Structure 1
Amino acid sequence: MSKAQCLLLDFDGPVCDIFAGLPAPTVAARLRATLEGAGAVVPLEVQATDDPLEVFRFSGGLSGDLNELALSALTRLETEAAGTARLTPGAADLMTRARNRGLPIAIVSNNSVSAVEAFLDREGLAAQIAYISARSAVDPSLMKPNPHLLDQALSHLGADPSASLLVGDSVTDVEASKLAGVVAVGYANRPGKVERLGAVGADLIVTSMVELADALR
């Protein structure tokens, strides 16, 4: 943390639990229903997932109109969920201490820009964030583990990847970090994640955002 020039934060996990009030399985089901209502045939493996982002990834193989519909519907549902999302303990302190040290912060998220903005505004944290690099394109392949969103944030901030950290709670965060040349900090917020994030090469692992905030005390 003392050597970092840039702090990149995944949104769902390190910053908040976006689906705390509107559960992810409900969002996934609503998104599937929207696609089916428009004529899409949803295969069994997509019917079984509780992850809305996986349903959106599936839409990338459909027609352009259905893919656009999925993007619009998911963005609307995520923005609704942001109204009842739960702030992650330690996240606000980490942002404040990073800014006090002159360390720029970017959100790098597979969730929508509008959902990130809505939550940050609600919590009074928008001024802490220098840039939001989040989902806006209809092409699901641009989401992490593709390094596109990380590269976009690094370019905007003029940051050296090797002196930048991405804090994320998923395997795709670590994979994207490796592809972008960024230090991967795994946030193991659930049982089994220490092993999973370590197995894909996380450079550091924390089990609480308070640990990172304390490192900047």
Structure 2
Amino acid sequence: MVRRPLGNHLHGADTLLVTSETAQTPPLPTPSESLRALVAAARFVLFDFDGPVCRLFAGHRAEQVAAEQVRWLEERGLRGLLTAEELTEPDPQSVLRAVAARHPKSDLVAELEERLTQQELKAVATAWPTPYADPLIRTWRATGVPLAITTNNSAKAARGYLEGRGLAECFSPHFYGRTEDLRLLKPDPHCLRRALNALGAEPSAALMIGDTPTDLRAAERAGVSFLGYARNEDSEGRLREAGAEHLVSTLQPLLELVRGRRSS
């Protein structure tokens, strides 16, 4: 087992555990006071999907999906819509954004978005659950805290994955994902505000858990507290550079705090 400290932001003794949930249980990290405060203040919790809940493209790789999008455009003589850098972009969301920026609300964008949705639905079958996410979701909901999904992925894909894990009822009906207007993707706070309005939640009473700077920016613009999930050094670096104050490298200490909250 390899254990690596992730710095001294929120987590203090939190560590990145290169192991599985089924492996021998290591000593529990000690949650910091700031993490305790975030959990104690959270009356509503908004989860990003791909990252804090699962790795959607673990088996159906995002790079392959992006390449398929580019091929589809090339077959229609639309290669010129993308820059040289965008033609090799490994993130299918970025390819979609690039086309949408040049042809907003067009039939082309609608069809490309639907193709991405179908690829995300296909990826659900081979997605990897984020360690400790399943019990964290169940336990948090059992404390009476309403949960919502706020994602740039398709809400259909998020719901499909969570139904397969027996977790959809923990969120239902609060799945807020990509809309036809791609200008409203995070960092725009649109999906967070939809969730807050539907939940009847004041922003100051909500916590978002995300893993990208766009999640952080959306939370800031919505007035919602933010906890960054940094599963590796690259993710940690991006979140730190964006100014994230609170980071964890594993959901384990968060789960322990929520379990303690439920017991009390």
1:133 aligns with 2:176: yes
1:14 equivalent in structure 2: 52
1:30-71 superposed Cα distances (whole Å, 9 cap, x missing partner): 111122223322321211210010011012013712111111
1:56 aligns with 2:129: no
Residue of 64, 69, 84 corresponding to 1:31: 69
1:211 deviates by: 2.2
Q: Which has the larger radius of gyration?
A: 2
> Percent identity between the aligned chains?
39
Unaligned runs of 5+ in 2: 1-38, 260-264
1:163 deviates by: 1.4
In structure 2, relative to structure 1, the CA distance for the partners of 1:58 and 1:34 (3 Å cut) is: same
1:182 aligns with 2:224: yes
Paired positions, count: 216
Return 114-123 or 13-22, whichever deviates more: 114-123
Within 2, Cα distance between the matches of 1:3 and 1:113?
Answer: 27
Unaligned runs of 5+ in 1: none
2:250 equivalent in structure 1: 208
1:87 equivalent in structure 2: 129
Q: Aligned Cα RMSD in Å? A: 1.3
**TM-score, structure 2 normalization:** 0.79
Within 1, Cα distance between the matches of 2:245 and 2:192?
Answer: 17
Within 2, Cα distance between the matches of 1:201 and 1:213?
Answer: 24
Residue of 178, 193, 205 corresponding to 1:163: 205
Within 2, Cα distance between the matches of 1:37 and 1:66?
Answer: 13
Contact 2:67 2:88 (C-alpha < 8 Å) held by counterparts: no
Within 1, Cα distance between the matches of 2:77 and 2:107?
Answer: 11
- Which amino acid is 1:27 matched to? V
Within 1, Cα distance between the matches of 2:256 and 2:193?
Answer: 28
Residue aligned with 1:165, SS: strand
- Which amino acid is 1:209 matched to? L
**TM-score, structure 1 normalization:** 0.95
